[in-house]
Amino acid sequence: MQKVLDSVQNWSNANKMKLNAKKTKDMWICVGKSIPQRPNLYIEDVMIERVNSFKLLGVSCQSNMKWHSHTKEITRKGNRRLCHLRQCRKAHLPTEVGLATYCTKIRPLLEYAAPVWGGLPHYLVNDLERIQRRSYI
């Protein structure tokens, strides 16, 4: 693995780019319960930080390929955004305003990168659907 990383570093240096070891993370994807012994990886003698979960483009990835942390974060954000709908109802705004609020504030949060994490177990899907049900009330 270090040889591949060295060749990437050589390519980036040849193309006048620099790898940033502080922004680089090392995460091994392992579906089984035991994680194999992992070697330390280096960029220009700086060890790359090893992580078990990492947020990339708004999606929280875990090394065991489970989506607990991602769905937990989505439900937390979704529950906070439901207050926008409550404010629309309290102000007796037209239904179209509430629908537009849902379509702009809540639905994008629930649907963002869904093809990546779409195969969720039922108990995690239920957490996300609970937000949708609460938005209709």
In this predicted model, what pLDDT tens digit does every residue of 104-115 receive, in sequence order?
999 999 889 888
Torsion of CA 112, 136, 76, 128, to 10 degrees: -60
Residue 32, pLDDT > 80, answer: no
pLDDT given for residue 137 in this prediction: 58
Segment 47-85, tens digit of pLDDT: 889 888 888 898 888 888 888 889 999 999 999 999 999
Torsion of CA 106, 112, 114, 117, to 10 degrees: -110
The mean pLDDT value of the chain amounts to 87
55 has which bridge partners? 60
Task: Give percent of the chain with pLDDT exceeding 70.
Answer: 96
The model scores a pTM over 0.75: no
Tell me the C-alpha distance between 134 and 25, whole Å: 37
pLDDT given for residue 15 in this prediction: 94
Question: Can you tell me which residue has the tokens 């404010």?
Answer: 87
CA-nearest of 63, 59, 57 to 74 is 59
